[in-house]
């Protein structure tokens, strides 16, 4: 067996050989990599032995918490029985089939089929092609344009980064690709001006209709959005937003794609975000909470409307991944969902820990530097403000968010900062005392801003 390298060696090896996603390489080489070695429950431990409360569930994904032996055992059993077989050419494996059935059983009534991928980004590429194939099969090959939102996030592949509305991502790699259009996001705090949230929600939703008119209804294939924008800063839309979006998609005959990669599997206190907002998607990419991140797996929930055309008009969809429906990942995902069901985690988020978290998170609004603290289920977004009364924002939002995040980190709490918004998305198993710990540490980090005169 290879000897384990020492920590300093590992850091040097990492600097020499490992290119990290979304990390500044020069800064990383100067500072050194944080090496995470172990985790249990809500806590992760780094190579120096320091423990952190991970209030971000890894990357919004470890919904059942760390250290679930039964998931490891399910993967081990499956690996011994059948480590791999594919789902191409009309073949399947028991875990892939049972997982498709299980996922469909929890989604809206018209979502009865799943196409498996390995990630959320691949799920995005999958629905993007499927939407165009769908319209072509219906004799409308010109219906190819897709409308998405500024500041949305749908992954890092070429289609994913194009559909996302992140300017910095577009600047790298000549994106977006043709045929993708972005409308405004329902970010009332920053962009709502004098309108009430309800008025603003309607106004922004109606930009979809304006964009459809501009492009021509017979050219638009689909509209995509996250139920709550995650990476964009946990932007929670006003209540008027989603019903109006769903109405427009229906009236104008374009597919509604709800990106459930973060919101799926209990985060909002329902199995899926579309159920929380009472809308019925035609296609819905999933990943993350599907396996709680124990193994990579994603997919697209496909509505009966789309599936029937794919079956009756298209026949073969020339699309797939070697590991679509990987049996070991599917076995891990099945065990993950069994845990969510058995422990009633979705109901727990809706009726118990979600409301507790909401009250605690909201209490931060009494702090001078907090403009707004909103949450749904276990997804929280906190807006930092230079002046609460006028909703004036800090001049350098990234610096402010980073200061708060780093203070939390030094004090053993992992949260994320997107510009001047602090984001929380803990495991669905978080206890009340752990919620208290999140609030206490974050509160001290907010005090720290004031102590620095910011």
Pairing state between β 51-54 and 413-414: parallel
Which of positions 60-119 make contact with ligand PLP (CB under 6 A)?
119
Point out which span in 199-207, 242-250, 259-267, 436-444 binds ligand PLP (CB under 6 A): 259-267
Of the candidates 62, 103, 91, 134, the residue with the CA atom closest to the CA atom of residue 295: 62
Q: How far is the CB of 155 from ligand PLP (least distance, A)?
A: 3
Q: How far apart are CA 192 and CA 194, in angstroms?
A: 6
Which of positions 297-336 make contact with ligand PLP (CB under 6 A)?
298
For ligand PLP, the closer CB: 95 or 298: 298
Q: How far apart are CA 311 and CA 273, in angstroms?
A: 27
For ligand PLP, the closer CB: 161 or 337: 161
Of the candidates 252, 167, 258, the residue with the CA atom closest to the CA atom of residue 208: 252
The 267-296 site mask, x for binding ligand PLP (CB under 6 A), equals: --------------------x---------
For ligand PLP, the closer CB: 423 or 446: 423
Return the ∠ at Cα 264 (arms to 260 and 268), rounded to 5°.
110
Q: Which residues contact 214 (CB under 8 A, 6 or more apart)?
A: none
Q: How far apart are CA 37 and CA 274, in angstroms?
A: 36
User: With CB under 6 A, what is the number of residues at the site for ligand PLP?
Assistant: 15
Q: Please report which helix (H) or strand (E) contains residue 295, including its range.
A: none
For ligand PLP, the closer CB: 262 or 370: 262
Q: SS3 of 116, please?
A: strand
CB 169 within 8 A of CB 245: no
CB 76 within 8 A of CB 320: no
Q: How far is the CB of 401 from ligand PLP (least distance, A)?
A: 18
What are the percentages of helix, strand and coil residues in the chain, rounded to 5? 45, 15, 40
CB 211 within 8 A of CB 182: no
Q: How far is the CB of 379 from ligand PLP (least distance, A)?
A: 11
Q: Which residue is nearest to ligand PLP (CB)?
A: 120
Of the candidates 98, 110, 43, 65, the residue with the CA atom closest to the CA atom of residue 340: 65
Point out which span in 136-144, 170-178, 255-263, 300-308 binds ligand PLP (CB under 6 A): 255-263
Which of positions 109-128 make contact with ligand PLP (CB under 6 A)?
119-121, 124
Which of 53, 234, 258, 262 touches ligand PLP (CB under 6 A)?
A: 262
- Which runs of E-coded beta strand occur in 72-226? 111-117, 145-149, 180-183, 220-225
153 counts as binding ligand PLP under rule CB under 6 A: yes
CB 425 within 8 A of CB 382: no
Buried b (16+ CB within 10 A) or exposed e, 233-245: bbbbbbebbbebb
Which of positions 157-176 make contact with ligand PLP (CB under 6 A)?
none
For ligand PLP, the closer CB: 255 or 369: 255
Q: How far is the CB of 150 from ligand PLP (least distance, A)?
A: 14
Which of 106, 132, 143, 154 touches ligand PLP (CB under 6 A)?
A: 154
The 207-246 site mask, x for binding ligand PLP (CB under 6 A), equals: -------------------x---xx---------------
Q: How far is the CB of 259 from ligand PLP (least distance, A)?
A: 4
Residues contributing to the site for ligand PLP (CB under 6 A): 119-121, 124, 153-155, 226, 230-231, 259, 261-262, 287, 298
């Amino acid at each position: 067996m290879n000897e384990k390298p020492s920590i300093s060696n590992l850091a040097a090896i990492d600097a020499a050989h490992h290119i990290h996603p979304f990390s500044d390489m020069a800064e990383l080489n100067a500072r050194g990599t944080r090496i995470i070695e172990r985790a249990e429950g809500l806590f992760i431990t780094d190579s120096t032995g320091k423990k952190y409360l991970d209030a971000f569930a890894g990357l919004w994904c470890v919904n059942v918490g760390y250290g679930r032996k039964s998931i490891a055992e399910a993967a081990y059993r499956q690996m011994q029985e059948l480590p791999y077989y594919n789902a191409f050419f009309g073949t399947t494996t028991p875990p892939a089939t049972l997982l498709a059935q299980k996922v469909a059983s929890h989604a809206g009534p018209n979502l009865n089929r799943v196409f498996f991928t390995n990630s959320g980004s691949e799920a995005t590429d999958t629905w993007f092609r499927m939407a165009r194939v769908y319209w072509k099969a219906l004799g409308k090959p010109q219906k190819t344009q897709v409308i998405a939102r500024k500041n949305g996030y749908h992954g890092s592949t070429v289609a994913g980064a194009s559909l996302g509305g992140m300017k910095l991502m577009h600047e790298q790699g000549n994106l977006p690709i043709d045929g993708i259009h972005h409308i405004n996001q329902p970010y009332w705090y920053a962009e709502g001006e004098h309108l009430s949230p309800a008025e603003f929600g309607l106004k922004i939703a109606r930009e979809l209709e304006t964009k459809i008119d501009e492009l021509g209804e017979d050219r638009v294939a689909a509209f995509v959005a996250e139920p709550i924008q995650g990476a964009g800063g946990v932007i929670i839309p006003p209540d008027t937003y989603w019903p109006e979006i769903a109405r427009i998609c229906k009236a104008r005959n374009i597919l509604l794609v709800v990106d459930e990669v973060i919101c799926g599997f209990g985060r909002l206190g329902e199995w899926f975000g579309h159920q929380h907002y009472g809308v019925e998607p035609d296609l819905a990419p999933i990943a993350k909470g599907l396996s709680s991140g124990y193994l990579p797996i994603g997919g697209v929930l496909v509505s009966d409307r789309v599936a029937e055309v794919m079956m009756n008009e298209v026949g073969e969809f020339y699309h797939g991944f070697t590991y679509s429906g990987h049996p070991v990942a599917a076995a891990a995902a099945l065990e993950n969902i069994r845990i969510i069901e058995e422990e009633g985690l979705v109901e727990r988020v809706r009726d118990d820990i979600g409301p507790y978290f909401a009250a605690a998170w909201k209490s931060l609004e009494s702090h001078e530097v907090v403009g707004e603290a909103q949450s749904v289920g276990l997804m929280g977004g906190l807006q930092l403000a230079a002046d609460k009364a006028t909703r004036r924002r800090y001049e350098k939002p990234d610096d402010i968010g980073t200061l708060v995040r780093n203070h939390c980190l030094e004090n053993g709490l992992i949260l994320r900062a997107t510009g001047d918004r602090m984001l929380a998305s803990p495991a669905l198993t978080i206890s009340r005392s752990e919620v208290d710990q999140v609030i206490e540490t974050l509160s001290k980090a907010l005090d720290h801003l004031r102590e620095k005169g910011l």
